[in-house]
């Protein structure tokens, strides 16, 4: 079992994205440590980090369209596609969102935001769990697509906090069956956190718990 420090000092945790990077660390873990290096082919995943500082630069409309296309390419239970995306570019509305999302202050800088909502009446078996799983898959697609296009994003939690959901409901006058799940701040990044995984061998179970 590796200690936190051993994981921290590994080439993997250091965020080295290199085809030839093979860890020499001994391993009794599965998968062996050298197999969980940051494979450069998956850099679009490892380099996706939460971006909270943005440049004052417009995002082309086609790029926002690309993100929405990526969102709606996500898996969805029984392909119910219960998602809705509110595209926000108006500065005043972005600023209003920061009042509802106390951990979303970066929206003052962001050029755009999506508010990701789901229609409970469209979800598989009308169950909230299916709705949230579908929306989460779409959100991750957006984050990965944005990173691939050079944009920065940050997931902003709304659900299950009642106050945040109420604030979003009121700001956008949402119909009753629409559940707001999260916001996504979007903009050209003004910071570049290192590519990494938070791989933890303790979370992997081979054949049995
Ligand atoms: C459900 C959820 C809610 C989150 N809410 C916020 C938020 O309100 N504000 C924020 O700055 N980051 C938020 N994040 C981003 C996490 O803080 C971030 O993903 C985590 O620290 C890991 O860092 P990374 O995204 O750079 O890998 C949220 C992420 C998730 C999945």
* Backbone φ and ψ of 49, nearest 5°: -130, 160
Nearest one of 11, 55, 57 to 36, comparing CA atoms: 11
Tell me, what's the pLDDT at 51?
98
Rounded to 10 deg, the angle between the 61-71 and 128-148 helix axes is: 140
Same domain, 106 and 24: no
Residue 19 has pLDDT above 50, yes or no: no
Q: How far is CA 26 from CA 7, 31, 135, 138, in A?
A: 12, 12, 40, 38
**What token pair was written down for 66?**
């690309």
DSSP secondary structure, 39-68, as one string: -GGGHHHHT--B---B-S-PPPHHHHHHHH
Same domain, 74 and 162: yes
Residue 152 has pLDDT above 60, yes or no: yes
37 inside domain: yes
Angle at the Cα of 96 (from 93 to 101), degrees rounded to 5?
120
What residues flank ligand 1, with Cβ below 6 Å? 49-50, 52, 103-104, 154-157, 193
Long-range pairs of 13-18 with CB within 8 A, sequence gap ≥ 24: 13/196, 13/197, 13/198, 13/199, 14/194, 14/196, 15/46, 15/194, 15/195, 15/196, 17/43, 17/46, 17/47, 17/195
156 inside domain: yes
Tell me, what's the pLDDT at 29?
65
203 inside domain: no
Same domain, 38 and 91: no
Q: Which residue's alpha carbon is nearest to atom 14 within ligand 1?
A: 155
Same domain, 67 and 170: yes
Tell which wins on pLDDT, 24 or 56. Answer: 56
Nearest one of 65, 52, 86, 112 to 171, comparing CA atoms: 86
Q: How far apart are CA 181 and CA 83, in angstroms?
A: 10
Average pLDDT across the chain, whole number: 89
Same domain, 71 and 120: yes
pLDDT tier for residue 206 given thresholds of 50, 70 and 90: very high
Q: Which CATH number belongs to the domain containing residue 178 in this structure?
A: 3.40.109.10
pLDDT tens across 111-141, in order?
999 999 999 999 999 999 999 999 999 999 9
Domain count, the chain: 2
Token pair 């050029």 in the structure block, residue: 111
119 inside domain: yes
Residue 207 has pLDDT above 70, yes or no: yes
Residue percentage of the chain with pLDDT more than 90: 82
81 inside domain: yes
157 inside domain: yes
Q: Which of 15, 102, 107, 154 should be mutated for ligand 1, with most atoms under 8 A from CB?
A: 154
199 inside domain: no
Query: How many angstroms does the Cα of residue 194 sit away from the middle of ligand 1?
Result: 16
Q: Which of 155, 163, 200 should be mutated for ligand 1, with most atoms under 8 A from CB?
A: 155
Q: 116 is in which domain, residue-wise?
A: 61-187
Same domain, 132 and 154: yes
pLDDT tens across 28-81, in order?
666 766 667 899 999 999 999 999 999 999 999 999 999 999 999 999 999 999
Same domain, 7 and 108: no
Same domain, 32 and 65: no
């Amino acid at each position: 079992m590796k200690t936190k420090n051993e994981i921290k000092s590994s080439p993997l945790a250091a965020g080295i994205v290199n085809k030839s990077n093979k860890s020499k660390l001994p391993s009794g873990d599965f998968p062996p440590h050298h197999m969980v290096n940051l494979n450069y082919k998956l850099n679009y995943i490892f380099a996706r980090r939460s971006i909270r500082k943005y440049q004052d630069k417009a995002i082309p409309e086609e790029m926002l369209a690309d993100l929405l296309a990526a969102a709606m390419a996500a898996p969805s239970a029984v392909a119910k596609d219960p998602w809705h995306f509110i595209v926000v570019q108006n500065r005043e509305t972005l600023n209003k969102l920061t009042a509802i999302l106390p951990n979303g202050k970066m929206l003052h800088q962001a050029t755009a935001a999506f508010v990701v909502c789901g229609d409970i009446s469209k979800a598989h078996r009308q169950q909230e769990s299916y709705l949230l799983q579908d929306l989460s898959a779409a959100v991750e697609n957006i984050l990965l697509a944005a990173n691939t296009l050079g944009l920065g994003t940050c997931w902003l939690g709304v659900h299950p906090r009642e106050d945040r959901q109420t604030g979003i409901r009121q700001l956008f006058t949402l119909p009753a069956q629409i559940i707001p799940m999260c916001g996504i701040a979007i903009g050209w990044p003004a910071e570049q956190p290192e590519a990494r995984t938070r791989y933890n061998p303790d979370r992997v179970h081979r054949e049995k718990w």
